[in-house]
Every structure is written in structure tokens, then in C-alpha cells.
A and B are shown apart, each in its own frame.
Chain A
Amino acid sequence: MLYTIFIAPFAEYEFMRRALVGTFALVLGAGPVGVFLMLRRMSLVGDAMAHAILPGAAIGFLVSGLSLFAMTLGGLIAGFTVALLAGLVARVTEIKEDASLATFYLVSLALGVIIVSVRGTNVDLLHVLFGTVLALDDQTLLLMATIGSLTLVVLALIYRPLVLECVDPGFLGSVSKTGAAAHLAFLALVVMNLVGGFHALGTLLAVGIMILPAAIARFWARDVTAMILIAIVSGVVAGYAGLLLSFYTSVPSGPAIILFVGALYAMSVLFGRVGGVVRQIFPGRHLEA
């Protein structure tokens, strides 16, 4: 009984297994990256960069259709360009980084939509915006797994400066020069994970699987390591549940996954151990000696 409901869809259909593995690979990289994005108050930067990927991927699409390589390369280039340009504009002009990012991502979104429409139809546009987690082929899976593994390795390498920069950038600057390098490497990881996520969830939702699990984790832990673990676990749970939801109710898969992370987030806001609403209203007994 339980088997037929929860396991059988994946045992029976290869495309479901692929979707599940793809989501796991994605969450493994995107979860930790999301936690650091959140801790550094860069959640919106992630959002902006996700949109910035669109014109790059669209140019790839224009050149060679729904090809994995062209769209990945285009997305990477566009993502890096916007990340660097937005930082540059914020540094050399009066405008603040959030405003400059907002500008860049709106322009990228408009540009991307126009580029896709030049060659394809509205349906193509939907594929680029929302992805197709059900149609992951070998190459795409490999790409996503590679990005996930690479992310974990690089994060392990830059973990110390990264955490320190979240906590006390001034101190890090005084004791080490690795801060800038770590920051750049981290930005690269963000772009890579967004591009990986974009194949499964599309440019609009890819950032969701990055930011939302991190936000959930924030409600359950104070410790960075614990947060990373919780982010990954909640992403995995939502990916699995979202796919099942799509399997039984025929709602589109990508949005179903994100919706599930959203539901987890709502629950965390209410009942989270760290700063959840219920916890704040009923703080519990103070420990007394």
C-alpha cells in the first residue's frame, strides 16, 4: 500500500527516477549556496542573477535550439557578466547595488523574452522560463551532478573565509587576503548552480530551490553546518513530494516542487525552533538554576 503510493511511481517510470535524481543533485549544490546567499543578505542577488541567465540561455537557444551545451554556456556567460557589471556599476556610481541589480535583471528578462520569441514560440519561452524536470537526458543529469559535486568541493575549500566574511568581513580583511577571491569563487558557484537548476526548473524557478531551503533552515538552526544540512534535507523532501504531487494530480512538476518548498517554509515560519511565530508567542519556560 505505502509502497504503491510512495515508491512505485519511481520504480515503474524511468523519467520519474531521472527527475528525482536531478532534483537531488540540484539541491545538493544549491542548498549550501543558498544558505550562504542568505547569510550574506544576498538572496535578491541570487534572484537577479537567475533572471540574468535568461538572455544568455536564449542566445544559446537562438543559435542551436534546445541544446544543452549552447544554453549552458550562454547562461554562464550572461550570469557572470551581469554579476560583475552590477557590482562595477554599484562601485563606480552613486547607485546602490540592489537598485543596479534590479535594473540589470529587468533588462535581462525583457531581452531574454525577446530573443526567445525571435526564433521560437510561446511554448519554447515557457520551456526556458519554467524548464522541464521530466525530460532530463543523460547529459543534463551529468551536468547537474557535476555542478553539485564541484560546488561541494569548492565550498569546502573556501568555507573558512566565506563564513568569516558573513560574520565579520572587517576582521577577515585584517587577517587574510582571501576574502575577495572567496567572494568571486562564491559568485561563480551561484551562477553555476542557477544554470544547472535552469535546465530542470527554468530560469524563473531555479532560484527558488536555492533560496527557499535556506530560508527554511534559518528557522530551525543557528549553526551554519546544521543550516546547510537542513537546507539540503528540506530541498530533497520537497523535490520528492513535488514530483509525487505532479504524478498524482497532474500539476506541472517544476512549480509543484517549488510549491512544496514554499509549504515547508510556511510551516517553518509558524513553528520554527529559531524565531518561529509560535515560539515567539509561547517562548517556553526559562531555564533556572
Chain B
Amino acid sequence: MMFSRRSLLAAVLALATFAHFDQAAAQEKLKVVASFSILGDFVKNVGGDRVQVVTLVGPNGDAHVFSPSPADAKQLSDAKIVFVNALGFEGWITRLVKASGTKAPIIVATKGVKPRRMDRGEHDGGSDPHAWQSVANAKVYVANIRDALIAADPAGKAAFEANAKAYLAKLDALEADLKAVIAKVPADRRKIITTHDAFGYFKDAYGIDFIAPVGVSTDSEPSAKDVAKIINQIKTQKIPAVFLENISDARLVTRISKETGAKIGGTLYSDALTDEKGDAPTYIDMVRHNIRTLGVALTS
């Protein structure tokens, strides 16, 4: 018994040592943590090779319902900077930061963004955390990240500034394209019906209205009443396109579309990037995908 326990202990120690070597190899880079994938993408673009980014909520993950693991606390305690979105997006992060005992500064990437009230949904009445849905805000994120990185690693100042400048230029181009696509949509067609509640900033910045289906529970199988309500709403408000991803039965969405004449939209990404193979592996890809999808559904 003693023997097996001792060998177990030895094994654990050996593993710990390996893990330590591993870290030592990566130590030359500035190790930072970003709370979710979109923020992580910004940090990667600004930090370039000088920074190693760990995202707590990975691609396709939902930051609203994320439950941190001990490994996440460990990532935090090793980090030199922790980037968060705040505005109520990662409610779990304060406790996690405390629990991890990290000395790293917590940088709020949305500092300077003008927060808007949430129209509806899970943060009802509170501030809307999905600030990155407006590209103008994304530029604020990037500036905050650049300043924080420079503060933590003054030697990389030139590199960070150059990276940020290049990335900001890309964001400008992105926003110009975005506005060009929307300009092509007639003003009275700039609305869709959707269960997404994450596009408030997008709506304010670019003037596309995201209307929620009224009084429809989104988690259970839709009843005849729900379907009738959605159809009525589309007809009375003359909504040209529907994005109903939570109704997973394509036949039902087709039925609604046939009965109302509204076009069926595709997938919109809001809270997380996809993995490398998906439609939205980076922030810029995500915005481009969303705007392409919206453009196809609203024009014609």
C-alpha cells in the first residue's frame, strides 16, 4: 500500500516537473489571458509573436454560461495581463480572479465604449455587453489592448504599435465594406426577425433592426400558437427576412417563410468565434460573414 502511494506521488511530481519545463520554454513570450475568443483574437492581432494568448472561453463556447475549471484559475495565476470585456459579460471572472490569486492587472477592454442598455434577453435592463458588434467599438478594444501590452512589455512598444496600426486599418476597411453593403439595402427593408439578442450595438451603429419574435419561448418545441404569432408579426411589420436558428427543424422555418414571403437567413455569429474550420475563425471573418449573410437575405 505504502509502495503504491509512494510511486503515485513520484509520478505526480515527475509530471509537475515536466509541466514546469514546458512553461519555461514558453516563458520568453508575454503570457496573457483573454476571457473569450473574440477578445483573444484582438489580443493576438495586436500582440503578434511577442504575446502568448490563452482564451478561457474558447471557440463556439458560450461565455454567459461558462463554468471555470481549476485549470482556468491556473492560467490566470500564470498570466501577466488579464483582458476582460466587462459590462456584465463574464460575471464569473471576478470570483475566478480572486480564487486564482493572480497579480496580473485586469484590463477592461471596453473602457471608453459608450455602453447601451440591453433591449431584451439575458441582461435585461442592464448594460449590453456585446460592444464588439460595432466595428467602431472594436477599435476602442484594440487601443486599450495596445496600451496595456505596452505597459506590461515596454520593449515591444514599436511592434505593438505597428501591429495595432495595421489591424486598425483593416478594421476601417471592414467598416467601410459593411456600410457599403447596408447602403445597398433599401431603408424600409433594414429589419430582420431573430432570436439573437446580441446585436444592439450593430443596430445602433449601422441601422439594421433586429426584432425579437414576441412572446415565443425559444427553448421548447414551438406550438401552433408560437408559429401563428411569428407569422403575424412578420406580416404586420413587413419583415423581409427571418433568422430563426433556435427552431432547428428546417421544415418549420421553410413553412413560415412560405406563408409570409420572408426570406430565410443563415447563421449569424454573435458571442464567440468558430474554430479554424468554421465560418468565423477571426473577428474580421465573423463580421464579414454576418454582413454577407444579412446582405443576401435583405437585398434582392
Give residues in A with beta carbon < 8 Å to B. 9, 12-16, 18-19, 66, 121, 123-124, 126-127, 130, 132, 134-137, 243, 246-253, 256
Contact status B250-A134, CB under 8 Å: no
* Chain B, interface SS category: helix
B249 an interface residue at 8 Å Cβ cutoff? yes
Contacts of A247 in B (CB 8 A): 223-225, 228
B255 an interface residue at 8 Å Cβ cutoff? yes
The chain A residue with its CB closest to the CB of B225 is: A250
Contacts of B250 in A (CB 8 A): 66
B248 an interface residue at 8 Å Cβ cutoff? yes
Q: A13-B259, A19-B224, A252-B223 are in contact. Are A124 and B248 (CB under 8 A)?
A: yes
Give residues in B with beta carbon < 8 Å to A. 217, 220-228, 231, 248-252, 254-256, 258-259
Contacts of A243 in B (CB 8 A): 224
A132 vs B227: C-alpha distance in the bound complex, in angstroms?
Answer: 12
The chain B residue with its CB closest to the CB of A19 is: B224
Contact status B251-A132, CB under 8 Å: yes
Nearest CB of chain A from residue B284's CB, rounded to whole Å: 29
The chain A residue with its CB closest to the CB of B226 is: A250
Contacts of A121 in B (CB 8 A): 248
Counted as pairs of residues, one from A and one from B, with CB atoms less than 8 Å apart, the total is 73
Contact status A134-B222, CB under 8 Å: yes
Contact status A132-B249, CB under 8 Å: yes
Nearest CB of chain A from residue B283's CB, rounded to whole Å: 27
* Chain A, interface SS category: helix
A9 vs B231: C-alpha distance in the bound complex, in angstroms?
Answer: 12
Contact status A135-B224, CB under 8 Å: no
A126 vs B252: C-alpha distance in the bound complex, in angstroms?
Answer: 14
Contacts of A136 in B (CB 8 A): 251, 255
Contacts of B227 in A (CB 8 A): 13, 15, 134
A250 vs B225: C-alpha distance in the bound complex, in angstroms?
Answer: 5
Cβ-defined partner of B228 (8 Å) among A9, A124, A135, A252 = A9
The chain B residue with its CB closest to the CB of A16 is: B224
Contact status B220-A13, CB under 8 Å: no
Interface centre among A127, A246, A250, A253 (most CB of B within 10 A): A250
Contact status B225-A248, CB under 8 Å: yes
Contacts of A246 in B (CB 8 A): 223-225
Using A13-B228, A132-B221, A132-B252 as known contacts, list a sample of 20 further A-B pairs with CB atoms less than 8 Å apart, ordered by residue number in A: A9-B224, A12-B228, A15-B256, A16-B224, A126-B221, A127-B249, A132-B251, A134-B227, A135-B249, A135-B251, A136-B255, A137-B251, A246-B223, A247-B223, A249-B223, A250-B226, A251-B223, A252-B221, A252-B222, A253-B224
